[in-house]
Amino acid sequence: AQKITQTQPGMFVQEKEAVTLDCTYDTSDPSYGLFWYKQPSSGEMIFLIYQGSYDQQNATEGRYSLNFQKARKSANLVISASQLGDSAMYFCAMREVSYDKVIFGPGTSLSVIP
Amino acid sequence: DTAVSQTPKYLVTQMGNDKSIKCEQNLGHDTMYWYKQDSKKFLKIMFSYNNKELIINETVPNRFSPKSPDKAHLNLHINSLELGDSAVYFCASSLGGDRAFKNIQYFGAGTRLSVL
């Protein structure tokens, strides 16, 4: 069964607008970490933001915030004030306490339109 | 100073050849990984090492052999390359330990392997 689901293969957003990239996950572990990575066309994987399963508050890093809804098992990435440089693939990932590996979702391709 | 560096960045080779990709991290991390990213951008773990010990060995053909001479290095050797091995291979590292699920993985720039 797929552990990480990203239902939006491709998204478009107008420059300066906010955009939400969806991520749902499946785990029975009480402890886990959720991550978002950005992969621009140059190919590198860039860590953006982390949310722990026990964290009370949603994580924020600059223009990135994570809308964490534990009961729904969702961890959506919100990018505020989109910039052209935000055009990239975005991967949601999860690491469970009982498994020593990170599982990645299939990714969402975001295109920012001027 | 690149935190996780892997070489070469590009590798073009013929079917049947043997090739190696090298990875080094200067972050003081305990755990290193190899991932394969296919043409559809799907990222899948292949191996992980913790302090030179193999921890994860996913269903990978035994033509792929990782080697970790020390905890800062993890190399990937591929024998008898096949067309289907063409992909981008990423090295990554993170802290280990009991709270490993909180630890961020940092990635190298990737090695684009093309098998002709």
**Which of A85-99, B7-21, B45-59 is predicted least confidently?**
B45-59
Q: What angle do CA B42, B47, B49 make, to 5 degrees?
A: 140
Instruction: Tell whether B92 lies on the interface with A, counting CB pairs under 8 A.
Output: yes
Cα(B88)–Cα(B114) distance, integer angstroms: 9
Q: What is the reported pLDDT for B40?
A: 92
Question: Rg of chain B over CA atoms, in angstroms?
Answer: 14
Residues of chain B with Cβ-Cβ distance to A35 below 8 Å are 104-105
Residues B42, A91: C-beta atoms closer than 8 Å: no
Distances (CA, A) of A13 to A67, B41, B62, B84, B115: 18, 21, 44, 35, 37
For residues B101 and B65, what is the distance between their CA atoms, to the nearest angstrom? 26
User: Would you state the pLDDT for residue B78?
Assistant: 96
Q: State the pLDDT at residue B112.
A: 97
Tell me if A101 and B92 make a contact (CB, 8 A cut-off).
no
Q: Is B41 an 8 Å CB contact of chain A?
A: yes
CB-closest option in A37, A43, A107 to B109 = A43
The least confident of A95-99, B2-6, B61-65, B109-113 is A95-99
Residue closest to A67 by CA, chosen among A106, A98, A100, A21: A21
pLDDT digits 0-9 by tens, B33-82: 999 999 999 999 999 888 888 888 887 899 999 999 998 999 999 999 99
One-character DSSP codes across B32-69? EEEEEE-TT--EEEEEEEETTEEEEE-S--TTEEEEEE
pLDDT tens, residue by residue, A41-61: 999 999 999 999 999 899 999
Residue A104 pLDDT grade (very low, low, confident, very high; cuts 50, 70, 90): very high
User: What's the pLDDT at B99?
Assistant: 62
pLDDT digits (tens, 9 = 90+) for A14-23: 999 999 999 9
CA distance B74 to chain A (A): 16
Q: Does B55 touch chain A (CB under 8 A)?
A: yes
Read off the pLDDT of residues B79-98 as tens digits, 9 standing for 90 and up.
Answer: 999 999 999 999 999 987 65
pLDDT band of A98, cuts 50, 70, 90: confident
> What residues contact A83, with CB distance under 8 A and at least 6 apart?
A15, A112
Q: Do B101 and A31 touch (CB under 8 A)?
A: yes
In sequence order, what are the residues at sequence separation of 6 or more whose Cβ sits closer than 8 angstroms to the Cβ of residue B61? none
